[in-house]
Every structure is written in C-alpha cells, then in structure tokens.
Structure 1
Amino acid sequence: MARKYVDCRSFPSEMNCSIAISADSEKELVEAAVQHAVAVHGHTDTPELRQEVQKSIKEGSPPN
C-alpha cells in the first residue's frame, strides 16, 4: 500500500500555507485534511470540500 498525501501548496491561499498531510489510507487522509482546512483556513466541512480534497490526493511523499 503506497502512502498518500495532500499538499496545501497545491491550493491558492492568502496565507501561503506549506502544510503537507500524509497517511496510509485515503479515509484517514481526507479526515485530517478536512480538519486542517476547517481549523486553519476557515472552510466549512461540506461534501464539496471533501470531494475537492479527495481529488487532490497524490501517491508517495510530498516534494520538498
């Protein structure tokens, strides 16, 4: 099973967030990324946000 990640640098942001979140499962990764988006970026946890996060998942490790 390959590690998966979401990199905040992939999204436009006024704060230029450089957080990358990784996990072994997509479910765990989506939960963590949505929590970050809500707590740090002020998004609302919606099905659309979860879908956007799901689409941005990449395999491997985030680039430096």
Structure 2
Amino acid sequence: MGRKFIDCREVPSETHCSLALMADTESELVDAAVQHAVAVHKHQDTPELRAHIKQAIKDGMPPA
C-alpha cells in the first residue's frame, strides 16, 4: 500500500491555499480533505464535493 495525496495548489481557489494532505488510505484522505475544504474553503460536505476530491487524489508524495 502506497501513500496517496491531494494538493490544494492544483485546485483553483481565492485563498491560493498551498496545503497538501497525505494518507495511506483513500478513505482517510477524503475525510481529511473534506474537513479542510469545509473549514478553510467554506464548501459544504456533499457527495459532489467528495467525488471531486476523490478525482483529485494521486499516488505518491506531493511535489516540493
């Protein structure tokens, strides 16, 4: 099992967020990314948001 990540720099936002999140499982990463999206980017936790986050997940480590 390899690491998975999502990088806010790859998603256009008004805040120009530079946070990258990593986890060993997709489920753990989606939950953390949803919490971040709701708290920081003021999104609503919806099935559409979760689907969008799942599509943005990549294998490995975020670039420096």
- RMSD value over aligned CA atoms? 0.4
TM-score normalised according to structure 2 size: 0.98
Matched, 1:29 2:62: no
For structure 1, the 5+ residue unaligned runs are: none
Give every structure 1 segment of 4 or more consecutive aligned residues whose post-TM-superposition deviation is greater than 4 Å: none
Which whole-Å CA distance do the structure 2 matches of 1:15 and 1:44 have between them?
Answer: 17
Task: Give the share of equivalent positions with the same residue, in percent.
Answer: 62
1:15 partner SS: coil
Match for 1:50: what amino acid? R
- Structure 2 gaps, min length 5: none
Q: How many residue pairs were aligned? A: 64
Matches within 5 A, 1:8-47: 8-47=8-47
